[in-house]
A and B are shown apart, each in its own frame.
Chain A
Amino acid sequence: MEYEIVIGLEVHAELSTKSKIYCSCTTEFGGEENTHCCPICTGMPGVLPVLNKKVVEYAVRAGLATNCTIADYSKQDRKNYFYPDLPKAYQISQYDFPLCKNGYIDIETDGKTKRVGITRIHIEEDAGKLMHDEWDTGTLVDYNRCGVPLIEIVGEPDLRSAEEARAYMEKLRSILQFIGVSDCKMQEGSLRADVNLSVRPVGQKELGTRTEMKNLNSFRSIVRAVEAEAQRQIREIESGGTVVQETRRWDDERGLSVSMRSKEEAHDYRYFPEPDLVPIVLDKEWVEGIRASLPELPDARKKRYVREFGLPEYDAEILTSSKVLSDFFDDAVKQSSNAKAVSNWIMGDLMRILKEKGMEVENIPFPAGYLARLVGLIEKGTISGTIAKKVFEKMFLSGKGPETIVKEEGLEVVSDEGALTAVVRKVLDNNPQSVADYRKGKEKALGFLVGQAMRETKGKADPQLINKLLKEAMDKA
């Protein structure tokens, strides 16, 4: 039987405010254990949390950027559960009146656009970090992350494959980065997803029983977890069993999910209104002010790249998948007259070298202007395309400007006729067969001879000039 996979993602993003959501402790990543803490974020009795206004602003920004309706009335609630990563034994979150509702984003897979619904976005506090020592009897707790503001973006079960889940996650990351509300560093846990997944026979209307896998913090693990869990559920059904609604832990090392049959599975969070915090009532004008301040979003920027620079859709999509990369491109284009060439360099050599070195776009070791100038050097004919690749490589390794590299390594195009005539002579003398072929009308032979001459000059000769000189020499005799 053929099955359809149904996926909904709940994405948590840590907001890039300076201070925590309910106290003035720093949100800075790292730091010695329990040094970014105070009585409020460690849940001491008798303290009073006060909501950070920036958290509301950022959540509203995220809501507007994902086409949500912003609630004029919103409140916070206690979600009760016992786990030592939350010292209060509850998490302050939002239950029935979230800040944002009913939005959507568009994703692209296989050249097709798909609209994915966003049920809601609400604000809540992050939890602390537990460290389990195999040899010890206890669990150690660090509350530095406890109280860092989060938004939870609850998506509709509109996704149908691992690729769509990945595209959705990438688009959300890109949007959140563009609007500057989260740095979305997955390796630091500032962007993570819970995957809700079920399968059903193709054509069936009702949804199958779903499982939830929590806290996936890389695109790769999301894709692998979706694929493995879908297969597991299909096997379960095919072998006559039933899928149990439960939370499963994804074990990335072993590539499988494990059931977490704990008592908390009852999911009985007994939400109730947070008595220490008052309702949030948003002024229309304030919300519209935020809407007006939104920057160009990834989809708009992508369209602009296609329209203004004639880039292929695919290239524009990749360039706008990351704010840093897109800004790098924009910055380079401002200093260059050939946007397409700049894009090709980024899509080709830059992406390749980053991948080879396992580096992120954040770590590109030279400013965008260097790439613009490198493209300029090719256009002016100062260096050849082949040499430019070498210069690019050196630019990446040394961070030196392209002109400096060209000068230091003597890589300028040789367009001195006198010097090149000698090279041409040598090539003709060494390849009498090709010369004969050319004279018999084999155009291909000319290409070979040009190649030989370029090799002789280590790629520095002006190929146009070499071409002309070779032809002249052979046509004459």
Chain B
Amino acid sequence: MKITFEIIEHVADLARLNLTESEKQKLTSEMANIIGYVDKLNQLDTTNVPPTSHVKPISNIFREDVVKESFDREKILSNAPSRDNGCFKVPKVVE
């Protein structure tokens, strides 16, 4: 995959990062290096290697459907930078 200046802008936008022009330039080449490095893996023959979606060789970790007491609202809201009427308050978002 070729990393272009436009891709960096797009990814930065999706991640809500405000980058300067020089930062975007720098990241374009850095990201290209990283992706290029990972691309090396493609040279390996993986015909008989099953795809990995999790690093740990375990599956089926479940909990039973049992309700436990929720947290006190004060505690839940205690880290909120802003709150109002028992709610988290965030900058206005309009659809």
Task: Write the residues of chain A forming the contact surface with B, with a CB cutoff of 8 angstroms.
Answer: 17-19, 24-26, 32-39, 42, 44, 50-56, 75, 80, 82-84, 87, 97, 130-132, 136-143, 249, 260, 262-263, 266, 268, 270, 273, 275, 277-281
Q: Check B89 for interface membership: any CB of A closer than 8 A.
A: yes
* Number of residues of chain B lying within 8 A (CB) of chain A: 38
Contact for A52 among B65, B82, B85, B88, CB less than 8 A: B65
The answer to whether B63 touches A275, judged by C-beta atoms less than 8 angstroms apart, is no
Contact for A278 among B16, B60, B76, B95, CB less than 8 A: B60
Within 8 A of A (CB), among B42-86: 53-56, 58-68, 70-71, 73, 76-77, 79, 82, 84-86
The answer to whether B88 touches A141, judged by C-beta atoms less than 8 angstroms apart, is yes
Residues of A within 8 A of B77 (CB): 34
Shortest distance between the CB of B63 and any CB in chain A (Å)? 4
Can you identify 20 A-B contacts, CB atoms within 8 angstroms?
Answer: A18-B65, A18-B67, A19-B66, A19-B67, A19-B68, A24-B67, A26-B67, A34-B73, A36-B70, A51-B62, A53-B63, A75-B54, A83-B93, A97-B53, A140-B87, A141-B87, A141-B88, A141-B89, A266-B10, A280-B59
Tally inter-chain residue pairs, CB-CB below 8 A: 133
The answer to whether A75 touches B53, judged by C-beta atoms less than 8 angstroms apart, is yes
The answer to whether B73 touches A17, judged by C-beta atoms less than 8 angstroms apart, is no
- Chain A residue at minimal CB-CB distance from B70: A25
The answer to whether A35 touches B70, judged by C-beta atoms less than 8 angstroms apart, is yes
Shortest distance between the CB of B40 and any CB in chain A (Å)? 20
The answer to whether B67 touches A35, judged by C-beta atoms less than 8 angstroms apart, is no
Query: With A25-B67, A34-B77, A140-B84 given, is the CB distance from A279 to B59 under 8 Å?
Result: yes
- Chain A residue at minimal CB-CB distance from B55: A275
Shortest distance between the CB of B2 and any CB in chain A (Å)? 17
Query: With A34-B73, A275-B54, A275-B55 given, is the CB distance from A53 to B87 under 8 Å?
Result: no
Task: Write the residues of chain B forming the contact surface with A, with a CB cutoff of 8 angstroms.
Answer: 10, 13-14, 16, 53-56, 58-68, 70-71, 73, 76-77, 79, 82, 84-95
Residues of A within 8 A of B16 (CB): 82
The answer to whether A278 touches B54, judged by C-beta atoms less than 8 angstroms apart, is yes
Give the most central of A34, A82, A137, A281: most B CB within 10 Å: A34
Query: With A36-B70, A37-B71, A38-B76 given, is the CB distance from A51 to B87 under 8 Å?
Result: no
Residues of B within 8 A of A136 (CB): 84, 92
- Chain B residue at minimal CB-CB distance from A27: B67
The answer to whether A139 touches B63, judged by C-beta atoms less than 8 angstroms apart, is no
Q: How far is the CA of A56 from the CA of B70 in the complex (A)?
A: 23
Residues of A within 8 A of B87 (CB): 33-34, 131, 140-142
Q: How far is the CA of A142 from the CA of B76 in the complex (A)?
A: 11
Q: How far is the CA of A33 from the CA of B76 in the complex (A)?
A: 11
Residues of A within 8 A of B95 (CB): 249, 260, 262
